[in-house]
Structure 1
Amino acid sequence: MNFVAHAHLAGTEPEIIAGSVVGEYIKGSQLDHLPNTFVAGVRLHRATDVHTDQHPWVKQCITSVPAQHRRFAGIVLDIWFDHLLIKHWSVFSNQDFITFTEQTYRHITPYIHLTKDKHQVILQRMKQYNWFNAYRRPQGVQGACERLQQRLKGRADLVGIFQLVANDDNIRQGFEAFYRDQLAFCHQWREQNITPGEA
């Protein structure tokens, strides 16, 4: 999953939301030096990514992409899922999307410094250029793919993969059921792994 979905799937506790978003750039298993609730968000981020990668429908989406593109198809799907989530926002959230976006940016700000310098730049740019809002439009997703493609220095045609994914009706039609699975998984994970005192 990508930034918008990780923030939404984290629930309502600010520090868990921060951990789930910033957790993209928190590596390693030694997390004892970090705030407990933030760490819970990081662990939720990781569990969500594993659940996504193992989900049968996601595997089906990846195999629908030509074999030469499959290695990087998951990256593009993650960003495209943000677009589809925003498109169906009223189905999955009672909160106004702009309010959700502004709150998420506020929640992550105190924790950006916990990441490496290069990742701090990415997170600051996400806020500065309002990537959440950009993902509303397919062009915004394509722009994200273009930026990632540049960082990969030509190792993957992410824009080409995006064109395939964005025009796949099966992905559009299957997203709602998949995301309901994600919500159920994350709710259960929080119930089992976060004590009342943490959130």
Structure 2
Amino acid sequence: MNYLAHAYFSFGDPAILTGNMISDYVKGKKQFDYPIAIQKGIKLHRAIDQFTDDHATTKAIKQIFSPLVRLYAGAFADIVYDHFLALDPNEKTADEWMHFTETTYTQLGTQQEWFPPYFARVFPYMQEQNWLYNYRFDWGMENSFKGLQRRAAYLTNAEQAFDLFLANYTQIRQLSADFIPDVKIFATGQFQQLVEQ
């Protein structure tokens, strides 16, 4: 899952949100340099990622992308989950998502002292361009695919990957609809365990 889902599955806790959002940029034992509450967010992010990677629907979505992007198929699957989460009628309306994203940026803004360098650089753009909200739009997805290409060392065909996403949209939407309730249950349980520790 990508930025939107990790924000959503932080359940409004600013410190856990921070850890959840920066986790990909915190390597190895560096996680222990952070306050315990942020460490819990890092752990939550990693647990969600492992659950996502192991889930049958993720493997099915990766099969769609793998012939084109090979090892990056999982990264594209993460992005498409955010798209369908943003459009899931069982979660929030468009207005509610807008409020959620604005609240998320405000909460993250109070935690910037803990941002790793890369996240510190991208956060202003994320906020100004409202990346979290714009996952709901095809053009937002296309931008996200291009952003992945900019970060990836050997990826050069994000445009073709976006065409593949559109061509398989109905199938990927159904797979995502099967997955989102499962990951929500998992993330809720993990969050509860972490806050009780």
TM-score, normalising length from structure 2? Answer: 0.88
CA–CA distance in structure 2, aligned partners of residues 143 and 84 of structure 1: 16
Unaligned runs of 5+ in 2: none
After TM superposition, list the pairs within 5 Å mapping 1:88-107 onto structure 2. Answer: 88=88, 90-93=89-92, 96-107=96-107
* Conserved? CA contact 2:66–2:72, under 8 Å: no
Count of aligned pairs between the two proteins: 195
- How far is the alpha carbon of 1:154 from its aligned partner? 5.4
Q: Counterparts of 1:19 and 1:120 in 2: how far apart (Å)? A: 13
Aligned-pair CA distance for 1:145: 1.4
User: Cα distance 1:66–1:28, how it changes in 2: closer, same or farther (>3 A)?
Assistant: closer
Distance 1:11 1:116, change over 3 A: closer
Q: In the TM superposition, what whole-angstrom CA distance separates every residue of 1:94-137 from its partner, at most 9, and x where no partner exists?
A: 78111100111111123334334333111221112111122121
Alpha-carbon offset, residue 161 of structure 1: 1.5
Using the TM superposition, name which of 151-160 and 127-136 deviates more. Answer: 151-160
Give CA-to-partner distance per residue, 1:72-105, whole Å, 9 cap, x none: 12212211211111111x4124781111001111
Q: 1:33 to 1:64 in 2, by over 3 A?
A: closer
Does the 8 Å contact 1:73/1:161 carry over to 2?
no
Cα RMSD (Å): 2.1
Query: What amino acid is aligned across from residue 114 of structure 2 in structure 1?
Result: L
Which range is displaced more, 134-143 or 68-77? 68-77
For residue 67 of structure 2, what is the aligned residue in structure 1?
A: 67
Q: Does the CA contact (< 8 Å) of 1:63 and 1:70 recur in 2?
A: no
Q: 1:158–1:143: structure 2 CA closer, same or farther, 3 Å change rule?
A: same
8 Å Cα contact 1:72/1:156 also seen in 2: no
Match of 2:164 in 1: 164
Residues 3 and 21 of structure 1 are in contact (CA less than 8 Å); yes or no, is this contact kept in structure 2?
Answer: yes
Report what 1:46 is aligned to: 46
How much has 1:66 moved relative to structure 2?
Answer: 4.8
Cα 1:18–1:116 shift into 2, 3 Å: closer
Partner of 2:185: 184
Which consecutive unaligned segments of at least 5 residues does structure 1 have? none
Q: In 2, Cα distance between the equivalents of 1:77 and 1:21?
A: 18
Q: Secondary structure at the match of 2:29?
A: coil
Tell me the residue number matched to 2:110: 110
* 8 Å Cα contact 1:6-1:21 kept in structure 2: yes
Q: Confirm whether residue 78 of structure 1 aligns to residue 86 of structure 2.
A: no
SS in 2 for 1:32: helix
Contact 2:69–2:155 (CA<8 Å) still a contact in 1?
Answer: no
Amino acid at match of 2:90: V
> After TM superposition, which residue ranges in structure 1, 4 or more long, deviate above 4 angstroms?
none
What CA distance in whole angstroms lies between the structure 2 residues aligned with 1:77 and 1:53? 9
Alpha-carbon distance in structure 1 between the residues aligned to 2:66 and 2:3: 26
Q: Identify if the C-alpha distance between structure 1 residues 8 and 118 changes in structure 2 by more than 3 Å, giving closer, same or farther.
A: closer
Identical-pair percentage? 27
